[in-house]
């Protein structure tokens, strides 16, 4: 069984690693974390993954040292490009091995014989991290790490190994060298963060997945209301799933006094698509911004806004392809690229429009912008989630089919809605009222928890407030959790 | 020390009335200086001073002080 955050073996083994860490001298602590990281990765039972990771570590370590040592600019650039090519070579070989094998062997046979070789967990994340490390050394914003073991740990630190955050060398490497003193506050807040992430995953994302999967598995079998609702539910599911994982990763790391990058900042409160990308998968959007968008933007700066729009399109096309070589992800990436490119031209007009109608500084402006952004993002998620491009286009073009007649029916039966099963079916999706109520309660707890987290530090409250809250939360976690082997959405990338 | 000319070029590019710039000021600290408007700032500085920065030089900039030093070195080489 894979050692995933929400699995029992992980929850048993992690405390053992943490306890061992307490009794090891500072100069050997990196070794405990590195061995734990390799063990966790090896437990995925995909030997090729460990080999690929080791290859990326060795190549990046020596390329980093060589770039820093080299004084001649053209040679320096050649080493950088060599390192980047090697890292992307590893990434592409692992990710497209299945496609290559299936060119020669029928898919079911290939799956039965070599399924272990087709596991790609974590590769996309640590290869991007390795590329950022080399680029930062080349740009002279980072000194190379000279300790091989610590460098290997930087790329393979187990909490962030499988799904990020994609850490910059300047942020994580110094923390791996800091002397460790057990910090009770960090242990407590780390455990709380882990538990909160677990709730988001097992009580919210897994519960939402039941509805979303049922609809997206057979999109032709549902009407507009259900397709629309499933799309909004997916928007919440993917946030709960990915930010849940991130919270667990951050929580585990914090117990070792290591602060990983916060990957989410209320992304559905973004007032524009650009703002959304400053709040969603922050470590990845920083990466594509710094290493793809900015160089292209500078290269094409004489074309002014057209150059910026072109750079945005290319950047988000890469973002789509990074998620997977399928037309679905290409369309999803291009949609975001188009939204952002359009905003380059539209933004001055938008500002003038709000000034003209006198709502430039009105809260209504923010509300409208949040709603429009959320709907654009949700629309793009359709292609991210759909099983095929055809399914994606079907959902996108049938979101409103039957919605008018449904609303008329609701309006004309307002007095006795509860008795009309055919009006509830498109919303309940044949899962029953109880299941829908539990889903709503889970989502409400997540929303409420996020609001509370911003306003008060629960771990700083007196015991008579903390302990009833902990107990209520544990009961909610046990009662609302669903463990049915629903993997994390972002593991596939 | 940030020159008044550079300050004006940046303020005009960002359509700001005023802002106090120090050597350590980063783009993220200045209202409206985000990744999308960064190119406008660079273009405005290049146009105002009649210089051309290399892409790599721009990518290495960490703060306004770096931009001032890069500009000074360009102007020095020109004269």
- Domain span at B63: 4-78
**Domains identified in chain A, total number:** 3
Q: What is the pLDDT of residue A205?
A: 92
Three-state secondary structure along A14-50?
HHHHHHHHHCCCHHHHHHHHHHHHHHHHHCCCCHHHH
To the nearest whole Å, the CA of B79 is away from the closest chain A CA by 25
What is the C-alpha separation between A371 and A376, in angstroms, rounded?
Answer: 9
Check whether A113 has a pLDDT greater than 50. yes
Does the structure show a pLDDT above 50 at B21? yes
- In this predicted model, what pLDDT tens digit does every residue of B30-66 receive, in sequence order? 998 988 888 889 999 999 999 999 988 998 898 999 9
Asked if the model's pLDDT at residue A424 lies above 60, the reply is yes
**B43/A141 touch (CB, cutoff 8 Å), yes or no:** no
Judgement on whether residues A131 and A18 belong to the same structural domain of the protein: yes
pLDDT value, residue A454 = 78
Does residue A330 sit in the same domain as residue A239? no
pLDDT for position A351:
82
Burial of A220 (0-12, 13-18, 19+ CB in 10 A): exposed
Inter-chain CB proximity A298 and B59 less than 8 Å: yes
Instruction: Decide if A3 is inside a domain.
Output: no
On whether both A273 and A288 belong to a single domain, the answer is yes
CA distance B72 to chain A (A): 20
Taking residue A135's Cβ as centre, other Cβ atoms within 10 Å add up to 21
Q: B55 and A307 in contact by Cβ < 8 A?
A: no
CA angle A354, A264, A450 (to 5 degrees): 90
A25-47 confidence digits (pLDDT tens): 888 889 999 999 988 888 877 77
* B35 vs A293, A299, A307: nearest CB: A293
Q: What is the domain range of residue A161?
A: 8-180
CA distance A136 to chain B (A): 9
Same domain, A215 and A305: no
A-B Cβ pairs (cutoff 8 Å, strict)? 33
The radius of gyration computed from the CA coordinates of chain A, to the nearest angstrom, equals 24
Q: What is the pLDDT of residues A120-160, one digit of tens each?
A: 778 889 999 999 999 999 998 899 999 999 999 999 998 88
**HSE-CB for B47 with a 13 A CA cutoff:** 14
Q: Are A277 and A137 in a shared domain?
A: no
> At residue A222, does pLDDT exceed 80?
yes
- Co-location of A164 and A17 in the same domain: yes
pLDDT for A5: 64
Smallest CA–CA distance, residue A456 to chain B, in Å, is 26
DSSP helix/strand/coil, A260: coil
- Using a CB-CB cut-off of 8 Å, the residues of chain A touching B38 are 294, 297
- Distance, in Å, from the CA atom of A223 to the CA atom of A397, rounded to the nearest integer, reads 11
User: How many CB atoms within 10 Å of residue A121?
Assistant: 21
One domain, residues A119 and A31: yes
Taking the C-alpha atoms of residue A123 and residue A140, their distance in angstroms, rounded to an integer, is 26
What is residue A2's predicted lDDT score, i.e. its pLDDT?
42
Same structural domain for residues A210 and A74?
no
What whole-number distance in Å separates Cα of residue A142 and Cα of residue A38?
26
Q: Which residue has the higher pLDDT, A426 or B67?
A: B67
Contact check, Cβ <8 Å, A344/B36: yes
Q: What is the pLDDT of residue A122?
A: 81
Residue A2 lies in a domain: no
Structural domain contains residue A59: yes
Length of chain B: 79
Distance from CA of B1 to the nearest CA of A (A): 22
In a domain, A23, yes or no: yes
Residues 6-65 (B) with a CB less than 8 A from some CB of A: 34-36, 38-39, 42-43, 55-56, 58-60, 62
Q: Which one of A338, A372, A397 terminates a domain? A: A397
Residue of B13, B34, B35 for testing the chain A interface, max A β-carbons within 10 Å? B35
pLDDT at A85: 96
ipTM, two decimals: 0.84
Supply φ then ψ for residue A200, to 5 degrees. Answer: -60, -40
Model pTM score: 0.87
Per the structure, how many domains does chain B have?
A: 1
Under 8 Å between Cβ of A244 and A487: no
Residue A481, preceding bond cis, omega within 30 degrees?
A: no
Of B36, B59, B62, the CB nearest to A295: B59
Find the closest chain A residue to B36 by CA distance. A308
A393 plus A403 within the same structural domain: no
> At which of A373, A397, A421 does a domain end?
A397
pLDDT score for A353: 87
Q: Angle, nearest 10°, between helix axes B38-49 and B4-14?
A: 140
> Hey, is A241 helix, strand or coil?
helix
A194 and A258 together in one domain = yes
pLDDT tens readout for residues A313-330: 999 999 998 887 789 999
Same domain as A313, residue A391: yes
CA–CA–CA angle A182, A183, A184 (5° rounding): 115
| Among A364, A397, A430, residue at a domain's last position | A397
Percent of chain A with pLDDT over 70: 91
Instruction: Kindly determine whether residue B35 and residue A299, on different chains, have CB atoms separated by under 8 Å.
Output: no
> Mind listing the pLDDT tens digit for each residue in A200-220?
998 899 899 988 998 999 899
Confidence of residue A228 (pLDDT cuts 50, 70, 90): very high
Angle, helices A97-104/A107-114, rounded to nearest 10 degrees? 120
Please write the tens of the pLDDT for every residue from A430-466: 777 788 888 899 899 999 888 887 787 777 788 888 8
Interface of A with B (CB under 8 A): 139-141, 274, 289, 293-295, 297-299, 301, 304, 307-308, 344
Q: Could you give the CA distance from residue A81 to residue A121 in angstroms, rounded to a whole number? A: 25
Q: Which residues of B touch A274 (CB under 8 A)?
A: 34, 36
Question: What pLDDT sits at residue A1?
Answer: 37
Name the residue among B36, B55, B62 with its Cβ closest to that of A298: B55
Q: Which residues of B touch A299 (CB under 8 A)?
A: 55
Residue A1 falls inside a structural domain: no
Q: Is the per-residue pLDDT at A57 higher than 80? A: yes
Among A165, A252, A248, A241, residue whose Cα is nearest residue A201? A241
Per CB-CB distance under 8 Å, the chain A contacts of B69 are: none
**SS3 of chain B:** CCCHHHHHHHHHHHCCCCCCCCCCCCHHHCCCCCCCCHHHHHHHHHHHHCCCCCHHHHHCCCCHHHHHHHHHHHHHHHC
The C-alpha atoms of residue A490 and residue A237 are separated, in whole angstroms, by 12
| Pair A445, A207: CB distance under 8 Å | no
Least confident window among A7-16, A65-74, A210-219, A415-424: A415-424
Residue A292 belongs to a domain: yes
> Within this chain, do residues A306 and A378 fall inside the same structural domain, yes or no?
yes
What is the per-residue pLDDT for A116?
64
Is residue A348 included in any domain, yes or no? yes
Are B34 and A293 within 8 A, CB to CB? no
* CA distance to A62, A243, A247, per residue, from A204 (Å): 44, 11, 14
Note whether A294 contacts B60, CB cutoff 8 Å.
no
CATH number of the domain where residue B68 is located: 1.10.1200.10
Are B34 and A274 within 8 A, CB to CB? yes
CA of B12, closest CA in chain A: separation in Å? 15
CA-based nearest distance B50→chain A, Å: 14
Mean pLDDT, range A262-288, rounded to an integer: 93
Q: Which residue of B has its CA nearest to A274?
A: B36
Residue A102 located in a structural domain: yes
A188 Cα distance to chain centroid: 25
pLDDT at B2: 87
Chain A: residue nearest B47 by CA?
A302
Contact A255, A185 (CB under 8 A): no
Residue A194: is its pLDDT beyond 80? Answer: yes
| CA atoms of A148 and A362, how far apart (whole Å) | 55
Radius of gyration of chain B (CA): 12
């Amino acid at each position: 069984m894979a050692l995933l955050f929400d699995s029992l073996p992980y929850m048993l083994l992690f405390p053992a690693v943490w306890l061992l860490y307490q009794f090891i001298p500072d100069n050997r602590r990196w070794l405990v974390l590195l061995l734990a990281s390799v063990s966790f990765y090896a437990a995925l039972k995909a030997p090729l993954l460990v080999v690929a990771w080791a290859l990326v570590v060795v190549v990046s370590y020596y390329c980093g040292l060589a770039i820093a040592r080299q004084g001649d600019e053209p040679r320096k650039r050649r080493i950088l490009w060599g390192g980047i090519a090697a890292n992307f070579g590893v990434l592409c070989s692992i990710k497209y091995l299945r496609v290559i094998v299936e060119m020669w062997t029928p898919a079911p046979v290939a799956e039965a014989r070599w399924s272990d070789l087709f596991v790609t967990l974590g590769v996309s994340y640590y290869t991007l991290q390795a590329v950022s490390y080399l680029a930062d050394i080349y740009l002279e914003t980072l000194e190379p790490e000279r300790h091989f073991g610590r460098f290997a740990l930087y790329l393979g630190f187990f909490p962030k190994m499988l799904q990020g955050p994609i850490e910059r060398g300047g942020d994580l490497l110094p923390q791996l060298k800091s002397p460790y003193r057990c910090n009770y506050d960090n242990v407590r807040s780390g455990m709380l963060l882990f538990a909160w992430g677990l709730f988001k995953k097992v009580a919210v994302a897994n519960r939402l997945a039941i509805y979303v999967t049922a609809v997206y598995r057979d999109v032709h079998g549902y009407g507009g209301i259900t397709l629309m609702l499933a799309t909004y539910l997916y928007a919440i599911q993917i946030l709960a799933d990915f930010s849940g994982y991130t919270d667990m990763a951050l929580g585990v790391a914090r117990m070792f006094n290591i602060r990983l990058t916060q990957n989410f900042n209320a992304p559905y409160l973004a007032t524009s698509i650009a703002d959304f990308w400053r709040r969603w998968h922050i470590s990845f959007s920083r990466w594509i911004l710094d290493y793809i968008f900015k160089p292209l933007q500078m290269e094409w700066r004489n074309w002014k806004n057209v150059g910026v729009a072109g750079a945005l399109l290319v950047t988000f096309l890469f973002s789509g392809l990074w998620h997977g070589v399928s037309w679905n992800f290409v369309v999803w990436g291009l949609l975001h690229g188009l939204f952002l490119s359009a905003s380059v031209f539209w933004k001055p007009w938008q500002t003038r429009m709000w000034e003209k109608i006198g709502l430039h500084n009105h809260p209504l402006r923010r509300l409208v912008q949040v709603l429009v952004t959320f709907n654009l993002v949700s629309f793009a998620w359709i292609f991210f989630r759909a099983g095929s491009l055809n399914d994606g286009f079907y959902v996108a073009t049938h979101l409103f089919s039957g919605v008018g007649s449904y609303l008329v029916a609701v309006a004309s039966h307002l007095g006795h809605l509860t008795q009309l099963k055919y009006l509830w079916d498109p919303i309940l999706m044949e899962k029953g009222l109880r299941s829908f109520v539990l889903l709503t309660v889970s989502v409400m707890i997540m929303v409420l928890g996020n609001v509370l987290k911003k306003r008060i530090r629960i771990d700083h409250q007196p015991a008579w407030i903390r302990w009833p809250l902990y107990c209520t939360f544990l009961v909610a976690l046990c009662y609302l959790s669903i463990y049915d082997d629903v993997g994390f959405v972002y593991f596939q990338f | 020390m940030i020159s008044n000319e550079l300050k004006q070029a940046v303020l005009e590019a960002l359509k700001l009335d005023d802002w106090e710039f120090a050597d350590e000021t980063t783009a993220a600290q200045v209202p409206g200086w985000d990744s999308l408007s960064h190119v406008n700032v660079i273009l405005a500085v290049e146009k105002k001073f009649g210089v051309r920065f290399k892409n790599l030089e721009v990518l290495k900039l960490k703060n306004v002080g770096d931009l001032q030093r890069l500009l000074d070195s360009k102007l020095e080489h020109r004269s």
